[in-house]
Amino acid sequence: MTRHYNIADLRGRFMRRLKDYGLPLSILIGIVGYRPLSTLSPAIPYMLMLMLFFSFLKLTPRDLRIRPVHFLLQLIQIVLAVGGYLLVRYSGISESTLLAEGLMICFFCPAASASPVVIGFLGGNVALGTTYVLLTSVGVIALAPLLLGFFGSGAMDYGATFVQIFYRVLPVITLPLLVAWAVRYGVKPVYRVLTKIPSASFWVWLLCLSLIMANTVHFIAEEPREMIPTMILLGVMGLIACIVQFALGKWLSKRVLGESITLGQSLGQKNSTIAIWLAQSYLNPLSSVAMAAYSIWQNLLNAYQIHRATQRSDKKPSHKRKSKQND
């Protein structure tokens, strides 16, 4: 019996296969081709802004509301950062200060600018995740000079650090948000056309992820070979921090929101670029390897989660899939 597919069905099948294998392939390309691709790393912030622009087209100003759970997540970050540092620092293990700094920065750094996009891929609450990215970015701007100045080894100018973090973090989020609202309310014909582009943010994310992975691998590869044993330990710190934050966030999300996606990604998916810069600027520069490793762990986990989400979507009846795509 011959089966017939219309264009919409074929497109849906292709996009599901792309979500299945696109992220692992993107990660592999970034790792294998890290030398040439790492030279394109200056394009990462602009790709993130483009990706967020498409995601933010679906949001209205009314959607961005600060909730008590946002402050709870911020408090958890601070407690984990300080508690993790003290636990490792006074554990008596070799290189305890360096490992403690690496673990602390993995807990303390703000949520990733791309986390609302992944939340959207997985079916979570994009508005809640976006609000937390904005809030945690402001929180890091305010608290980083104090926390890192106390635990770090270098002197820190609060005002200068505030301006640098502000410049590196907030524009990536606020500019695409404001432009998306300007298009939504000021240029409605363009808005209607853009919202009909299927999975636009996902296509940009595939390209961006390859560059992020290439930049991370290049950073690790440039470290001295004699530091490999220490870097392995820092990589383990990154893995521990990744597991703790994703697991805790998912558990909290189930308790508060009835789903495991939104708070899991908000707490677990980190802005590795700003974290590496903070570590290199105000802690032992080698401690930034922990966050570089964290970036690899979190993207591998994201690829697995999206693969699982696509598999679950494939098992649903076709009419339910179409309804979900239209939402």
Q: Going from the N-terminus, what domains does the chain have, and what CATH number goes with each?
A: 36-309 (1.20.1530.20)
Count the neighbouring beta carbons within 10 Å of the beta carbon of residue 15: 18
CB 247 within 8 A of CB 64: no
Given this model, what pLDDT does residue 70 score?
93
CA distance 244 to 92: 22
Q: Which of the 8 DSSP states describes residue 222?
A: T
Position 265 confidence tier, pLDDT thresholds 50, 70, 90: very high
Residue 16 confidence (pLDDT) above 70: no
Position 325 confidence tier, pLDDT thresholds 50, 70, 90: very low
Residue 233 confidence (pLDDT) above 70: yes
Position 243 confidence tier, pLDDT thresholds 50, 70, 90: very high
Q: Which of the 8 DSSP states describes residue 223?
A: S
CA distance 278 to 128: 26
The pLDDT tens digits for 128-172 are 998 998 888 888 777 877 787 777 655 556 677 677 777 777 788
Residue 79 confidence (pLDDT) above 90: yes
| Residues forming a β-bridge with 270 | 111
The three-state secondary structure class of 58 is coil
